[in-house]
Amino acid sequence: MFGGIFAHGSAIIDDRAWLQAMLDAEAGLARALERAGLAPAGTGAAVTKAARAEDFDIAELGELSALTGNPVPGLARELTRAVGGQPGRAVHRGATSQDILDTAAMLLARTAIDAARADLAAAAETAADLALEHRAALMIGRTLLQQAVPVTFGVVAAGWLAGLDAALAGLTQVRDTRLAVQFGGAAGTLASLGGDGVRVKALLAEELELADPPLPWHTERLRIIDVGTAMARVTAALSKVARDVTLLAQTEVGEAVEGASSQGSQGSGAPDRAGGAPRRGGSSTLPNKSNPVASVAVLGCARQVPGLLATLVASAEQEHQRAAGAWQAEWQPFGHLLQVAASAASWGSELLGGLQVDTGKMAANLAAAGGLPLAERVTALLRNALGGPEAHDLVATSVAKAATSGVPLRDILLADPDLEDKLAQAGITQAGIEQALDPAGYLGAADDFIRAALAAHHA
């Protein structure tokens, strides 16, 4: 029912994906045992051929898991039966249930990370294009949701870019260094394989293209937390973009909106009353609505992540060589975190790819502010003539008058006879006031910051 929102994109981390990942771990182990000379030739191929999720009953495995505390024993039995003969005897040899489930978790993490990386890279590239294209597009900067000083949309997009690039770097670091095979046997010593355990572990890592850790990590859960944290950083960076877009897309603001090109094949809105084709952003009752669906979806995914990550962190306290409850508590939140983070990345790529920026509306909103966003600059101009406190109070009074009367700040300032005398004594002319109220002249290092973000992105 909710997959269109929370299972968006190419990475699907569901029960079937978990099952296939566990089967892949079992098949990789069979191939490793054969390479180590501990299973007959052809064993790896036979187990790999039988390890297809579509040939197993997920519901039945779920019922069996209630007897053993996890789904692996039932799966190992079914896989052994499916392989049959001498090759079937190699299934699950040397492994314990946690080896298979933890290794499957790493395989799923790789799938989700790879999908998220591709989508984040596309989103970052679009953000870079937006920063470059709109580096001079003036708009109101807003702090605490109130108008502050002028900025450019280019520097806003550059801020998005920096966050996306940082999230992407974190994903890459985890992908390259923290995804490792789990293989320790009953209590982390691989005793059942005797002197061959370390070699089989290394071969298993090769077969699955995962790192070979120095030792098993059954109750050392930092890898799980690192994956979760990297994915949480993805949703954090994307939620910043999505929240900005929802605010800029408000009817009364209208400075940026999601465009038709961001719709993609998986999204749809409410059908019209005549039963026509659904459209992205449609309302079930209001024909006038065009909702920011991609932004809302990103935010809906992102809001779930802190609680999921908290569960993973809380579960890191695990007893001795296998946890009683904490390990089991990881399974669903780990998979769900991977899913919603990858989904957010897919939505984020669509969001930025179809974003429509209205620089005319940005300029109009800035102009309609009547010079108030330049109050700080005017205060700085008057400080030398009047002193800091008096300049601040005078401008604050003028701003209040402008806000309540709708008269531009320039006119309020120039209509004050007391101020006119003080400005004249200080050599500040009307032209100087008007120059101070020009937003294009009060952008500080905005362009430098854009250049720096682009340089870092392309480095």
The residues annotated with a catalytic role in the active site are 283, 322
| Contacting residues for 33 by C-beta, under 8 A, at least 6 apart | 39, 43, 44, 90, 93, 94, 200
**DSSP alpha helix (H) spans, 134-181:** 153-177
Whole-angstrom distance, CA of residue 35 vs CA of residue 43: 10
The DSSP call for residue 192 is: G
Which segments of 406-445 does DSSP mark as H helices, in order?
409-414, 417-426, 430-436
User: From CA 29, how far away is CA 416, in angstroms rounded?
Assistant: 85
153 class by beta-carbon count within 10 Å (0-12 exposed, 13-18 middle, 19+ buried)? buried
| Residue in this structure with the two tokens 């051929």, named with its chain if needed | 49
CB 218 within 8 A of CB 319: no
Q: Are 79 and 304 in contact (CB under 8 A)?
A: no
Pick from 167, 258, 227: which is nearest to 457 by CA?
Answer: 167
Residue 389 tokens read as 């406190």
Q: Which two tokens stand for residue 308?
A: 């999921």
CA distance 340 to 215: 31
Letter for the amino acid at 25? A
CB within 8 Å of 218: residues ≥ 6 apart: 98, 102, 182, 184, 188, 318, 321, 322, 327
One-letter amino acid of 206: E
Return the sign of the alpha-carbon dihedral for residues 71, 72, 75, 81: negative
Residue type, 381: L
